[in-house]
Amino acid sequence: MTLLEVDDIVSGYGDAIIVDGAHLDVEAGEMVTVIGPNGAGKSTFLKTIVGLLRIRDGSVRFDGEDITGVPAEDAIDYGICYVPQTENVFPNLTVRENLKMGAWTLDDGLFEDRTQRVFERFPELEGRMDALAGNLSGGQQQMVAVGAALMLDPELLILDEPSAGLAPDLVEDMFEKVEEINDTGTTILMVEQNARRALESSDRGIVLDMGETHMQGTGSELLNSEEIAELYLGT
């Protein structure tokens, strides 16, 4: 079943069109990675899907429903949670308060239960519940960001460069966590600079270039393509 269908969307900032006709399908339960060079419009693509940026053309469907133009604060009602690349925690709020904000639309009764699940995924956070998120290490902040998004148990988790800014030994951890989350049935769409590693975990990948979908295929197809290797993966 197709969970997310993005058709020929166009968006940008002011007069600058950044995403220009990109398309993408994500099947339920899949992990899909968007790769592409710097400035290809990957982050803008995600922001447009979740409604942070106005969509100028094209359409977005989720679970068969048209969600084109649905603003960001309503996207989570459909079961879509998005973790931005930077500024993805509230620095002056404690970890507990960050998780509470992640659970804003959730019944209060479910809060403790969901928090426990986040601890199971990220045990390091349990002892830091009352620390300000802004005082945590980069890796822990990333855990808070993903943890807050998991509070609603989303159907689709959208991650913008989850490994960005992490120390090399934490990058592998983060990819493993993302795989685990995917294994529990959460569909994942992510953008990654660390393209080779991301494609290894992914069912499928798409290459975004100049704001358009340039190519798509399974993770291994893209990894084995000479053109992709040369243009987008480095050597």
Partner 1 sequence: MAGLDPQFIWFGIVSGSLIALGALGLTLIFGILDFINIAYGEYMALGAFVAFSLNVEFGLPLFVGAIVGALVVGPVAIALDKAVFQHFRNRSAIVLLVVSIGLSFVLRNVIRIVWGSGSKRFDVPIEEAPTYFGVRILADQVGIVVLSLCVLGGTYLLLRRTDVGIAMRAASDDTDLARLRGIDTERLVLYVWLIGGVIAGTAGVMLGLDAQLRPTMGFTALIPIFAAVILGGIGDPVGAVVGGYAIGILQEASVVVIPSEYKPLIGLILLVVGLLTRPDGLFGEATR
Residues that bind partner 1 (CB under 8 A): 50, 52, 71-77, 81-82, 84, 87-93, 97, 100-102, 104-105, 134, 148
Which residue type is seen at 162? Answer: P
Of 94 and 213, CB closest to partner 1: 94
Which ranges constitute the DSSP H helices of the chain? Answer: 42-49, 72-75, 95-102, 111-121, 138-150, 168-183, 195-201, 219-224, 226-228
User: At its nearest, how many Å lie between partner 1 and the CB of residue 202?
Assistant: 23
- Least Cα distance to 69 among 120, 179, 78 occurs for 78
User: At its nearest, how many Å lie between partner 1 and the CB of residue 104?
Assistant: 5
- Least Cα distance to 31 among 6, 59, 3 occurs for 3
Of 92 and 224, CB closest to partner 1: 92
Tokens matching residue 66? 């048209």
User: At its nearest, how many Å lie between partner 1 and the CB of residue 57?
Assistant: 22
Of 21 and 165, CB closest to partner 1: 165
Q: Tell whether the torsion through CA atoms of 140, 145, 191 and 172 is positive or negative.
A: positive
Q: d(Cα 42, Cα 19) in Å, to the nearest integer?
A: 8
User: At its nearest, how many Å lie between partner 1 and the CB of residue 101?
Assistant: 5
Catalogue the E-assigned strands of 48-96: 57-62, 65-66, 80-83
User: At its nearest, how many Å lie between partner 1 and the CB of residue 189?
Assistant: 15
Of 56 and 218, CB closest to partner 1: 56
